[in-house]
Each structure stands twice: as C-alpha cells, then as structure tokens.
Chain A
Amino acid sequence: MKIEEGSWVRLERGEKIYEGTLLPGATDHLVIKLSNGYNIGLKKDRVKILESREVEKAENAQQYEYHRDSSLPNLVILSTGGTIACRVDYRTGAVTSQFTAGEILQAIPELEKIANFDAEVVYNILSENMQVSYWIELARRVYEKIKDGAEGIIITHGTDTLGFTAAALAFMVRTPVPIVLVGSQRSADRPSSDNVMNALAAAKVATSDIAEVVCVMHGSTSDDFCLIHRGVKVRKMHTSRRDAFRSINVNPIGKVSYPDLKIEIEESHTKRGEVALALYDGLEERVALVKFYPGADPEILDFYRERGYRGVVIEGTGLGHTSSTWFDAIGRLIDAGVIVVMTSQCLYGRVCDRVYDTGRDLLKLGVIEGEDMLPEVALIKLMWLLNREKDPDKIKDMMKTNIVGEITDSTDVIGGF
C-alpha cells in the first residue's frame, strides 16, 4: 500500500511493533521518526505496515508583524540562495530557509533596531550554480532598488562563489550606497551558526558610510568581530572555517565588533553619495580562466581560440609565468585577437614579467600583466571590458588600470598576507 510521507504509521518487524512518522527519502529502508525524536531506518522487506493515518499538518507559523521606524534607514535584502535565516520543524526534522522580511526579522529580531527592511528572493540556488547572466540580472535588481530609494543593499549569498558575484557587481554598478554581500559558513539551523552575527554586522555596514560593494563575514573563529572586505579584493581561503574570507593584497576596509556592532574603519573607501548611481550591465561570456601547471597541455588554449573566445586569463606560476611550451599557443591566441592576461596562482603579490626570460618572452608575445588582481577578478573585469569596449588597445590599457579598487597602485606591506 502506498502511504503518504508525513503519515503516522504502525509497523511490525519480527515480534516488535514500531510507531512513528514516515519520512521521505527512503531507498530500501523505510525511515520513521519515533515519538522520542529519533529517526530510524527499517528494511522494507522485513516490515509489515499494520496501520497508517494521515496527520494534519501543523498550521504555518503566524505572520510576524514588524514595525517600521521612520528614523531608521531603509535597507533591501536580496536573497540569492545563501540563507541568513531558517526554521527547523522538529516534528519532521525539515529545515526551511526563511526569505521574507518578516521571516528574517522573526529569526533575527535585533535587525529591527538597525534599519527597516524589504526583502526579495532573486535566486534560490547553491552559489556554485551561479551563471554569468545571473550576475547581470542581480546587478540590474540592485540598481533598481537603489534607484527606488534603498539606502543600503544586503545580498545573502552562498559563500563558495560570493567573491565572484561581489566583483561582478563592483564593475557593473556605481553605487552611492553600501552594497553588502553576506553569507554563513555554518548553516543557519544550528545554534552555533555564524549567520546572526554576520547578518547583524552586514546590516550595520549597509547603514554605514561605506558606499562600495563589500563582503562582511567573520574575522576570526571567535564571535568577536566581522571584517569588511572590498568586493574586488576578497577571496574564500578556507573550505569550512567561519573566517574563510580574506582580503588579498589589501587590508580589510574595517571591522565590525560584536555584539556591540561598532564599525572601525581602517582603510580609505568611497563615501556615501560620493559616486552617482550608474549601471554598466553586460558581461562577455566567452572569457576563460586557465590554470597553468608543470606539464599542462597548451592545446587547451587552442580549444578556446577555436571556440571563438575573446579573452583568456592565465593563472601562471610565481611572478606570472608559463612553460615555454605554451608560447606558441599563446601567440596563436593573440594573433587571433584574443586578449591574454597573466595573473598569479600565488594570489598574494603583484605579477611582474620582466624578471625572468619566460616572463619577458610572454610580454613580447603580447600578454598583459594583471598587476595585483585576483585571477577571478581579472576574469570578470575582462568579461566586463570586452562587453563595453571595442578597441583592443584600450581594453589592454584598462586591464592594467584601477577602476573600482581591483588594482592597488602600491603593494601594501601587509596586504592581508
């Protein structure tokens, strides 16, 4: 007999009787939740279902009423899939993400003291499933919200590709207000999640004077402060730690202490209202990021050339090198009009191809040094430039020129290293 998931069931296995709620996800085992809260799996071919009945679903939690305070700034939360709030149904064990402003505020009521919120779900995806077109759409949505009067934007994002999205937004939107990307490294359902602290710090930054695309995440493994990273300089540097996000080649703009949420600025930044709102949407998708390693087959470059790619960012070794075995294929790319940019897999430090022979040869071929840009940021910048600029010389020139903080003029002595 077919039994609806979520039904109460009474089963017989051998001489024993089991009762509980039937859960989804069964393979050759039935999974039931016992009245003591535990789930157990019972082999299907060993059990006989004696009885079942449908259980009335609990009513949805009532809508949370929150009050707008006209003295507080108005912020907009855009969700892309990273959750800052969720709820657990202990009857079934289901964890549901919370997206509406009401739901988020119910989960994190402290937010109410910081600002008034509107919330909107743009995507509900894992961040590795982001697409270039999604970045563009997100940039347009951010632009509209600011145009409609949002005094700060918070974007909840999966942490895996948060840095890419931050860079894409930085190039596409000129903003007079803070655009803050935030995520959590431990899921929001657990009491130890970093979601609440990150969300509160992000909201605080969204009301601040920092009118840039930034990422706000834990600064240490303790719940003591969050760091404010420039979106074009931030990278996820650890698979699992709370403080995975680091500013590379620059120091963080500042930090937000917790739980008192005091912002301490340490680096210069664009001020609120300093830049007029503008949207430069559009990215060329035919740009590749290629990692060089000893023995790597240069044919990958020919593949991209034959596919009509317009730009290639190479993640070279050290100061920005590839084996000389790659020179011919690189030459063919450049001859075909493809822009080739060199970055370093060291991540920290600046590319300089004038020190060693291979470097000098690469420059001779027409490779452009990516300065102290992160490889991913160089990729997105090249996508953005190729979409906006026709003149290859101008593109080459702009690749080496700072636009939104992606290139520093002088390499910082510490620079987050």
Chain B
Amino acid sequence: MDSDLDYEKLGFMAGLEIHQQLDTRCKLFCHCPTSLRDVESSNFEFFRFLRPSKSEIGTVDRAAEEESTYNRIFVYKAYDTTCLVENDEEPPRKLNSEALRVALMIGLMLKTDLVDEVHTMRKIVIDGSNTTGFQRTALIGLDGMIEVKGGDVGVSVLCLEEEACQKVGEDGSKTIYSLDRLGIPLLEIGTDPDIKSPEHARKVAEEIGMILRSTGMVKRGIGTIRQDINVSIAEGARVEIKGVQELKSIEGIVKNEVLRQVNLLKLRDDLKMRGASVNDEIFDVTQVFEGTGSKIIKQGLKSRDGAVLAICLQGFADLLGREIQQDRRLGSEFSDRAQRFGLGGIFHTDEMPAYGISEAEVSELKREVGASREDAVVFVAGEREILKRALEAVIHRAKEALVGVPEETRRVLPGGSTTAYLRPLPGADRMYPETDIPPVVIGEELLKGIEIPELITDKKNRYLTEYGLNEEIAAEIARSPFANLFEEVLRITNLSAPLIATTLTSTLVEIRREGVDPGNIRDEDFITVFKLLDSGKFAKEAIGPILKEVASNPGIEITSAVEKIGLGAVDEIEIEGIINEIVESRRAFVLEKGERAVGPLMGPVMERLRGKIDGKRVNEILRAKIGEVLESGR
C-alpha cells in the first residue's frame, strides 16, 4: 500500500484533544482521594438506568440516541474510598481549589486567555460512565498557543472536568463500572486543527505532555493521559480516534487513518464506476442453511428465534475483501457496525467458501437473494431481532461507502495502529449549568499566587550547563519526579551532581527491578541518606543496598538501616588494620611485583571493605602500605 502520502496535497487536517488526570489530594467535586482501587476490593454495588431528556428543541443527540437504543443496565462498584457524591446520592462539594490552581497554571503555560469567572457545566453523557448522566466540566481558558518544531499550534480550549468511571466489564445487557476513577480532576486540552503531518501530531502531543509533567501535579502511568485525535483529508470526513494511550503510536494511527480515508475514497470511485447500489431489503435465508456443516451457523440457528438473514450489495463483489487499513477490510468496517448489536461478526461472499460453509450453500444463497456475479452478499446467523438491527447497520454503512468516508468516532485496536468503529461522532455538546456549584471568580489575588514551573526541557538544559551532567542523565532526572529533591541535595551536601542524579534514577530502577518498590522511600529518607554519605558515614557504594533496605522496610530509621546491613561506619584505623593484614599476608607477592601489586590486591581488599569506605580511599591506603612494605623490604 502507498505509504508516501503528500499530506499537504491531500488537504490533511488534524487536531488533538488531550485528557490528563491531575495528581491532587482530593477529587474535583468531593473529598475522596484520587487513588485507583482493585475492583476486588469493592465493598458495595448498585445499578441504575439512564434516560436522556429531550431538549427544548426536541432533538436528541445522535450519539446519545444510539447509546439509548441499547437500554443498558449500569452497575457501579463502590469502595471505602468513594462516597455518596460518586453514587450520585449527594450534591457535589465545591470545585476543588487545588485542581483549579493547577488548571490555571497550565492555562498560563499554554498562553490561553483565562476566563474571569469559572462556570461549571453539565455535559450530557449517557453511556453510564458518569452516574449522574452528565460530566461536570468548566472552561478555564481559550485561544492559547504551543510552540512546536514543525509549526506552532493553537490551543482552542482548556477545560477542567471530572474523570469518568472506568468500565470494568460487560455482561449481557449490563455494563459494569468502577467508581474509583469517577471525579478525579481531568484537564482537557483541545488544539486547533493546525497539525500538518503525523510526525507533527506526535511532536505536539509530546510537547503538551512535557508541559503538563513540568507542573509536577499530573498523574503518571498508563491511562492517566489519553489523546483523542481528529483527522480528516479534503474529500474525506472528520474522524475522531479515541483514547490513544501511547505517544509513540500517534504517528502510525494518524498515517493509517489518512490511508484509510484515501482507500475509502478510491473504493467509492470504483463503486461509482461499477454503478453499485444498496437497497434496504433483508432476506430470510434460513432454509439455505438447514443441515449446514458450519458450526458457527449452527450455533446461530440454535439461539432463540434463530435465523440466517442476508442482504445483497449490488456491484460490491470482491470489494468487501479489499484492504482499507493493514489487515482491515471493507468487510471489517461492516462487521464493526454489526458487532455493536452483540453479534460476533458477519459473513460475506468475498470470503466464501469458509467457516464450514459449502460452495453449494453459497450458490444457493446467491440465488435466493438474486445476486449476480458482480454482487456481494452479507449474511448473519443468530437471534432474528438482533440480526435485523445488525444488518440495518450494515446497510447504513454500505450506503456510506457509496458516498465516501463516514464521520465517526473510532477506537484504537490492540496492536496500536489500526482502528475500529466505536460510535457516531457526538453532536454539538449538550450542556447546561451545574447549579449545585457556584461560579468561581479568578481574581488577581488567585493568579498572583500561581508560580509557573520551569519546563522539563529548560531544566534539562540547565542541568547540562550548570552541573555538567551528561545529556542522558540530565534528561532523566529533569523529567523524573525527583528533580526538586536532586537540587535540594545538591544545595545541602557537597556530593557530586552525577552521583545524586544516578542514585535518584538508575539506582532506583535497579531497586525496582529487584522487586522492591522505591516509592516507599520518602523525600526525607533520601535527604538523611545523602547527608550521612556526605559526612562519610558510609561509602558511596553502599547507597544502593541502603536505599533498598529502606524501601523494603518503610519507616525504618536510616541509621539502623545502615547498621542492619552491616555497613556501619568503619574508622580509618580499623581499615588500615585490615589492609595491613592483607598486605602483610602477601608480603612475598608485594616484594616481587613492587608497586604493580596495587592492582591485584585491590580485589581481596575490596571484598572485605566494600561499602564501608570509598574505593578511592582504599586505593590510597593500599598504595601507602605497599610503599611501606617495599621501603622496609629494601
């Protein structure tokens, strides 16, 4: 497939919408912690139905409408860390001022125009992910700008909103949600469609991510930041790709979507040339498959009111098997729609004979629906009512193929570069004021108290020039959560910058690799350890084992950690004694090798002293002792 696409010529347009969880103490509208829980630890569950109210104008959002046709039961898992606010059983508390401050800080960093008064809105969302049926969201700033290599990008909106529930399961007509995530403060950053290429898209996302992490106030780890990408090309349509969790996949996803749109347009042209058409007739072809050898069809026929239904797509022959994205065919696009109704998938004649369906059955099927050689037949097996709705959705999608690219929301498939249909694009957001939450004035006073943090990239450059760290360590410590600690230790001790930086980065990685959580080490523990090291209470080689000890026994006294692993301070006389003993025991060797004996003797000496004293000092003492022996031996 063609992968050298000229994005400018294609009329490529893209914008990003980034959702980032904030690492605040409390949730946005209640005082529960922002910590995630294991579903197993849920101590209560309840269920609800949601029902969109008709708006004044009488319109129901198309995404909302499709969602409501499923009439789902939403089950919610509660915890001892969630409260009645998450249950939608208590009015929300006031807007979390810590979260607001972080949002304002980021608003300033993105050079947005901040509003003077923040109004919280209710945005209708009826997929059950919010117990209320709406998401509380407030616009904080508009019209900002991010400087990115490859072209600056406008920031259209910055909103502070509540995170939705995490979906943890589906069971027939039930969708199961976990309440722990509901209400965690979430920042939404929307860019203008200024993005020029897939590479540019990744860079913009990286830059925004870097700015967000520079605040030190955002959550990290998988799922804490999610990117939605809006992509279109000139003759195509706006397609929203939801929930991209990894930055490195953005480029591939955007490329694939452009390719998908290009291919759908080609397909449309081919269909036009063939004079293809789609009609609404659904055929009952159950009798064709009576006594079929296909297990899947048999299975479908066994369901309540089981049937095989089919549609005939005129002029579509061989096109359903055409690849639209890698490993995704037009048939997959049809199948995506059908699956929304709980169907495993669809069959089509382009892939026949297969699945145990015989050649004879296929010809019989074609005859039954009046398909010519140019036509394709799509058929499904299962419960009649579901089949009907699923085929209606396929008919709808087939008609869209005649027009080009349908506007829709898509999700990223496992593997991270191809996408599948998720739902229609949401219509204009349906919002009205959240009257339970008073507006918050953004006064001078509040803004004065907000300090703009140094960007991680600026910090890295400073570390390079000020502390002489190498590129890799500077970058690592600057983006780590320990940057402030690093600078503090530098200020209060005489230890070298590379030593502190590597301890706070690679040493901790090693500890984690050994199966101990370095997250147990508090900042004050680090400071004590570094201070002890600085005053020579142990050698720098011991810092790893000591930190590991602290991490394995949270709350342990640092001095006792040092003692516990036998690395207590050894005074110089004792050390000299040990070195003396080793040198004396190898006196003959020393006399034979002369000063070159230092190297070979370092081994046995360090074996006794590792961690108790700096290797450099050992070398000095050893050299002096050997000198003495040689002196006396002469």
Contacts and interface: CB of A to CB of B under 8 A. Distances in A.
Interface of A: 13-14, 16, 18, 29, 31, 34, 36-43, 46, 58, 61-62, 86-91, 93-96, 106-107, 186, 188-193, 196-197, 220-224, 239-242, 259
Given A36-B139, A106-B54, A222-B47, 8 more contacts: A31-B119, A188-B53, A193-B51, A223-B48, A223-B49, A224-B47, A240-B84, A240-B90
Given A40-B117, A58-B57, A242-B89, A192 B133 contact: yes
B55 A87 contact: yes
A192 B132 CA distance: 5
Interface in B180-228: none
B56 A91 contact: yes
B55 A39 contact: no
A191 B54 CA distance: 10
Nearest to B58: A61
Given A38-B121, A41-B441, A46-B116, A88 B432 contact: yes
Interface string B112-140: 01011111011110100001111001110
Contacts of A107: 53-54
18 contacts: A31-B119, A36-B157, A36-B429, A38-B139, A39-B119, A40-B115, A40-B117, A40-B118, A41-B115, A43-B117, A58-B57, A89-B55, A90-B431, A93-B431, A107-B53, A191-B124, A191-B132, A241-B84
B133 A89 contact: no
A191 B56 contact: no
Nearest to A243: B89
Contacts of A90: 55-57, 430-432
B50 A192 contact: yes
A380 to B, nearest CB: 29
Contacts of A221: 46, 87, 89
A87 B139 CA distance: 24
Given A61-B58, A191-B133, A221-B89, A41 B118 contact: yes
With a 10 A CB-CB cut-off, give which of B117, B126, B142 has the most chain A CB atoms: B117
A259 B89 contact: no
B360 interface: no
Interface of B: 46-58, 84, 87-91, 113, 115-119, 121-124, 126, 131-134, 137-139, 142-143, 157, 159, 428-433, 439, 441
A39 B428 contact: no
Given A43-B116, A192-B131, A88 B123 contact: no
Nearest to A85: B53
A38 B53 contact: no
Contacts of A16: 113, 142-143
B46 A222 contact: yes
Given A29-B441, A88-B55, A89-B56, A42 B117 contact: yes
8 nearest interchain CB pairs?
A41-B117, A191-B133, A89-B56, A37-B431, A93-B432, A38-B139, A39-B119, A43-B116
A58 B56 contact: yes
A104 to B, nearest CB: 12
B430 A39 contact: no
Nearest to A15: B113
Contacts of B56: 58, 61, 87-91, 94, 96
A41 B55 CA distance: 24
A14 to B, nearest CB: 7
A192 B182 CA distance: 15
A388 to B, nearest CB: 41
B48 to A, nearest CB: 5
A36 to B, nearest CB: 7
Contact of B54 (A38, A87, A93, A196): A87
Contacts of A197: 49
Nearest to A96: B56
B53 A191 contact: yes
A14 B91 contact: no
Contacts of B134: 190-191
B115 A42 contact: yes
Contacts of B116: 29, 40-43, 46
Provide the main secondary structure of the chain A interface: loop
Contacts of B123: 37
A362 to B, nearest CB: 39
Contacts of A37: 121, 123, 428-431
B51 A191 contact: yes
A62 B58 CA distance: 9
A92 to B, nearest CB: 8
A95 B432 contact: yes
Nearest to B143: A16
Nearest to A93: B432
A145 B408 CA distance: 53
Nearest to A34: B139
A37 B430 CA distance: 7
A36 B115 CA distance: 15
Nearest to A16: B113
A106 B54 CA distance: 9
Given A37-B429, A220-B46, A31 B117 contact: yes
A93 B131 CA distance: 20
Nearest to B71: A259
Contact of B49 (A42, A189, A259): A259
A105 to B, nearest CB: 12
Contacts of B121: 37-39, 93
B118 to A, nearest CB: 7
Given A41-B115, A42-B117, A93 B433 contact: yes
Contacts of A43: 116-117
A191 B64 CA distance: 11
B28 to A, nearest CB: 16
A178 to B, nearest CB: 25
Contacts of A14: 113
Contact of A186 (B88, B113, B137): B88
B564 to A, nearest CB: 51
A241 B430 CA distance: 26
A239 to B, nearest CB: 8
A89 B119 CA distance: 17
A46 B117 CA distance: 12
Contacts of A186: 88, 132
B119 A192 contact: no
A140 to B, nearest CB: 33
B356 to A, nearest CB: 40
A346 B139 CA distance: 48
B439 A41 contact: yes
A191 B55 contact: no
Nearest to A23: B433
Contacts of B118: 40-41
Contact of A240 (B51, B91, B113): B91
Contacts of A222: 46-48
A39 B434 CA distance: 10
B117 A189 contact: no
Nearest to B78: A221
A13 B141 CA distance: 13
A240 B119 contact: no
A240 B30 CA distance: 15
